[in-house]
Structure 1
Amino acid sequence: MQYVSTRATRASASRNPETFSSILLGGLAPDGGLFMPAEYPRVSGEELNAWRKLPYAELAYEILRKFATDIPEADIKALTAKTYTADVYRNARAGESAADITPLRTLEEEGSQGVGTKLVLQALSNGPTLAFKDMAMQLLGNLFEYALAKNEDELNIFGATSGDTGSAAEYAMRGKRGVRVFMLSPAGKMSPFQTAQMFSLQDPNIFNIAVEGVFDDCQDLVKAVSNDLSFKARHKIGTVNSINWARVVAQVVYYFRGYLAATTDNSQKVSFTVPSGNFGNICAGHIARMMGLPIDKLVVATNENDVLDEFFRTGVYRVRKSSETYHTSSPSMDISKASNFERFIYDLVGRDSERTHALFRKVETHGGFDLSGGPDADGDEFKRVGEYGFVSGKSTHADRLETIRMVADDYGIVIDTHTADGIKVAREHMTPGVTMIVLETALAAKFNETILDALGTDAERPAGFEDIESLPQKFVLMRPNVDEMKTFIAAHTGL
């Protein structure tokens, strides 16, 4: 399996194919694009049938080995077995088995004997930081440690978070040999629980940086530092953001698990609804569908920051300025520049890397592009979106509160704010006879302020998280200045 950049041109430094191992520790390609497989591996019906009863770790092995063909299969199997255990994903709730890793719970069902329309919630938040990001980040931490140990090397991870990525990355990397983490987050924009999860870590290899701005400012800093190739090489900078290909691949696994658990044979299709801001989670669903997983619809659920919903309704991709990005009660989706969206556009325009490069250069210079096919549009590829199964919808704060109350009253489950966005939008895109799986984003405890507003009671917390906000916190406050950020990194890497 070889990898190419979404922006490769005749003059591009990353035009030549790369291997999984060679892109594992990095983020952006040298030309500023994102790495993609030269072609998607296909999964046969026979393979799907063989995978139906596999434990999660073995399913992860089967999928990862299709992408990491340069890593010995025995090593991949050992890494997935080490990662996906009941001890790591131990925060299962009543009625769930930790051994299932990502258990399904049916919320609504019409018909009989399992035939008909279902609305199903797939639990992805049983890991150490109570968010779906743990599903990929725990594997990434073990992959990084494995790769660094083989070369007796070290890595400085530089990333940005709107809430859950940061804590998932830090919990996955704490204590890992040869790894330091520099994590940016928007100052005052995360929930108190999310903030405490990150800032309470006192490990010497963890550096939390609160940036005066919004998530997009943090993400811009990561891209600016990554695009300084000499600085990146000198200070051995890597990333765990969803621009990292290995993280996206790890997320592909739970789409297969959800499908296999929700169906009895390969003639059935399912749809997935995914709360999405940065497009990484649902991009993994797109990849699973391209591999041959029988997915009917991929439903993008946004909050008030509806850049992605606008595109999938109109064909217009229009990023917002920091001043136009709303601070909402589902803050992990308070994003207006979806960094993984480029991967889908690359496929949408026929894997034309030069066209992809031109479109995202226009994003940088004009704030967006238009593929609607109108008289002043940049193209007409939007007409092909339906071929990839994408639809979308939007949820507001009022929708969130109403959905949280409805799910608690009708099904006895307390969901977080982002998952509420997903369920609200999923109900608008149900198809008779097709199971709709909503991917859970996090446990409700991470957003207790809104839960209290919606239900009048506090969200239940797993053991060990009762007083996390009262723990001492360690972080630095910085302006969104690239040069200052480089100076800070250089001063703490020792390189």
Structure 2
Amino acid sequence: MQYVSTRATSASASRNPQQFSDILLGGLAPDGGLYLPQEYPQVTGAELDAWRRLSYAELAYEILRKFATDIPDADLKALTAKTYTEQVYCNARGDESAAEITPLRTLEQSAGKTLILQALSNGPTLAFKDMAMQLLGNLFEYALAKNNDELNIFGATSGDTGSAAEYAMRGKRGIRVFMLSPHKKMSAFQTAQMFSLQDPNIFNIAVEGVFDDCQDMVKAVSNDLSFKARHKIGTVNSINWARVVAQVVYYFRGYLKATTSNDQKVSFTVPSGNFGNICAGHISRMMGLPIDKLVVATNENDVLDEFFRTGVYRVRKSAETFHTSSPSMDISKASNFERFVYDLVGRDADRVHALFRKVETHGGFDLSGAPGSDGDEFRLVGQYGFQSGKSTHVDRLDTIRMVADDYGIVIDTHTADGIKVAREHMAEGVPMIVLETALAAKFNETILEAIGTDAERPAGFGSIEELPQKFVVMPADVARMKAYIAEHTGL
């Protein structure tokens, strides 16, 4: 299995295909594109039948070995077995279903329509990001140990990626983490979860701006190839291919647990900001997983909903990005969207390069086919199963109350966005699976507003906001950020 950049034009610095291990520690390709397989591996019906009997760790091995073909099978099997254990993923809920790693719960079943919630927050930071990040930590440590090397991870978070990365990388030999987050724009729980870490290899930087400002700095540093090489910069954001492919596993797991035969299709609704999570669903569908619809659920920052309704991709400036009660989705420039666009335009790297140059110069592009637009590929979107919808703060409050009253569970704000949109796209005979984002405790301010009581907290998180916090506040200044990294890496 080899990988190419979405911008691998004839003049590109990334036109030569790479192996999985070659791109594991990095993020952007040297030409600024994102890596994808030259072709998606295919899954047979016989394989799906066999995989129904596997544990989560065994399933992860079977899927990942199709992508990481240059890692010896025995090593990959050991890495997945080390990662996906009950000890790592079953501490959050404390119930028997957590042993499934990503248990399913049927919320409603009527008139031939079924709504299912797939739990993804059993990991150490109580969010779906743990599902991939714990594997990434072990993969990074494995790769660095083979070469006696070190890595400085430089990433950005709107809330959950940062803590998941830091908990996965804390104490790892040869790894430092520099994590950017928008200053005072995460929940109190999310902020404390990150900033309370005192490990010497963890550096938290609160940026005066929004998430997109943080993400822009990560891309700017990644595009400075000499600085990146000299300071051994890697990333754990979902621009990192290994992050995305690790998320493919729980789509297969959800499908296999929700169905009894491969003749049945399911749909997935995914709360979406940076398009990484639902991009894994797109990849799963391209591999042959019987997915009917992939429903993108956005909050008030509805760039993706606008595209999937109209064909117009229009990024918002920082001042136009709303600070909402589902803050992990407060993103107006979806990095992983480029991976889907690459497939949508027939894997034409020249076209992708031109379109995303237009994002930089004109703030977006138009594939609707209207006069003066950049193309008419929007007509093909339906072939990939995508639909979309939007949820607001009032919708979130209503959905949290409804789910608590009707089903007896308290969901987080992002999952509420997902359930609200999912209910608008349910179809008879096709189960709709909503991917959970996090435990409700991480967003207690809104839970309290919605239902009048605090969200239950897992053991060990009772007073996390009272712990001492270690972080620095910096402006959105790339030069100052580089100087900070250089000062603390000693390279």
TM range (shorter): over 0.9
Tell me, yes or no, if structure 1 residue 128 matches structure 2 residue 138: no
Q: How does 1:136-285 map to 2 (within 5 A)?
A: 136-285=132-281
1:162-213 CA-partner distances (Å, limit 9, x unpaired): 0000000000000000000000000000000000000000000000000000
Partner of 1:44: 44
1:431-456 CA-partner distances (Å, limit 9, x unpaired): 11110000000000000000000000
Equivalents in 2 of 1:298, 1:328: separation in Å?
24
SS of the residue 2:85 aligns to? coil
Tell me, yes or no, if structure 1 residue 102 matches structure 2 residue 102: yes
SS of the residue 1:88 aligns to? helix
Alignment-mate amino acid for residue 100 of structure 1 = E
Q: Return the offset for 1:110.
A: 1.9
Equivalents in 1 of 2:53, 2:94: separation in Å?
23
1:117-171 CA-partner distances (Å, limit 9, x unpaired): 2100000000000000000000000000000000000000000000000000000
1:457-484 CA-partner distances (Å, limit 9, x unpaired): 0000000000000000000000000000
Partner of 2:367: 371
Equivalents in 2 of 1:86, 1:98: separation in Å?
8
1:37-72 CA-partner distances (Å, limit 9, x unpaired): 000000000000000010000000000000000000
Q: Return the offset for 1:91.
A: 3.0
SS of the residue 2:115 aligns to? strand
Q: TM-score, normalised by structure 2?
A: 0.99
Q: Is the 8 A contact 2:269 2:296 kept in 1?
A: yes
Equivalents in 1 of 2:236, 2:322: separation in Å?
25
Partner of 2:283: 287
Partner of 1:396: 392
Kindly tell me the number of residue pairs found equivalent between the two proteins. 491
Q: Return the offset for 1:11.
A: 1.0
Partner of 2:328: 332
Tell me, yes or no, if structure 1 residue 345 matches structure 2 residue 341: yes
Q: How does 1:310-329 map to 2 (within 5 A)?
A: 310-329=306-325
Q: Is the 8 A contact 2:92 2:126 kept in 1?
A: no
Alignment-mate amino acid for residue 86 of structure 2 = A
1:389-413 CA-partner distances (Å, limit 9, x unpaired): 0000000000000000000000000
Equivalents in 2 of 1:149, 1:288: separation in Å?
31
Q: Is the 8 A contact 2:132 2:244 kept in 1?
A: yes
Q: Is the 8 A contact 1:194 1:446 kept in 2?
A: yes
SS of the residue 1:317 aligns to? strand
Alignment-mate amino acid for residue 348 of structure 1 = L
SS of the residue 1:209 aligns to? strand
Equivalents in 2 of 1:463, 1:21: separation in Å?
37
Q: Is the 8 A contact 2:92 2:124 kept in 1?
A: no
SS of the residue 1:170 aligns to? helix
User: Can you give the 5+ residue segments of structure 2 that lack an aligned partner in the other structure?
Assistant: none
Q: Return the offset for 1:98.
A: 2.6
Partner of 2:27: 27
Q: Return the offset for 1:282.
A: 0.1
Alignment-mate amino acid for residue 129 of structure 2 = K
Alignment-mate amino acid for residue 234 of structure 2 = G
Q: Return the offset for 1:233.
A: 0.1
Alignment-mate amino acid for residue 454 of structure 1 = A
Alignment-mate amino acid for residue 464 of structure 2 = I
Q: Return the offset for 1:92.
A: 4.6
Q: Is the 8 A contact 1:91 1:130 kept in 2?
A: no
SS of the residue 2:4 aligns to? strand
Partner of 1:56: 56
Q: Return the offset for 1:97.
A: 2.2
SS of the residue 1:355 aligns to? helix
Tell me, yes or no, if structure 1 residue 301 matches structure 2 residue 301: no
Equivalents in 2 of 1:230, 1:92: separation in Å?
42
Equivalents in 2 of 1:176, 1:37: separation in Å?
28
Partner of 1:15: 15
Q: Return the offset for 1:108.
A: 0.3
Q: Is the 8 A contact 1:56 1:101 kept in 2?
A: yes
Q: Which runs of 4+ in 1 moved over 6 A?
A: none
Alignment-mate amino acid for residue 33 of structure 1 = G
User: Can you give the 5+ residue segments of structure 1 that lack an aligned partner in the other structure?
Assistant: none
Q: How does 1:453-492 map to 2 (within 5 A)?
A: 453-492=449-488
SS of the residue 1:107 aligns to? strand
Q: Return the offset for 1:96.
A: 4.4
Q: Return the offset for 1:90.
A: 2.0
Alignment-mate amino acid for residue 15 of structure 1 = R
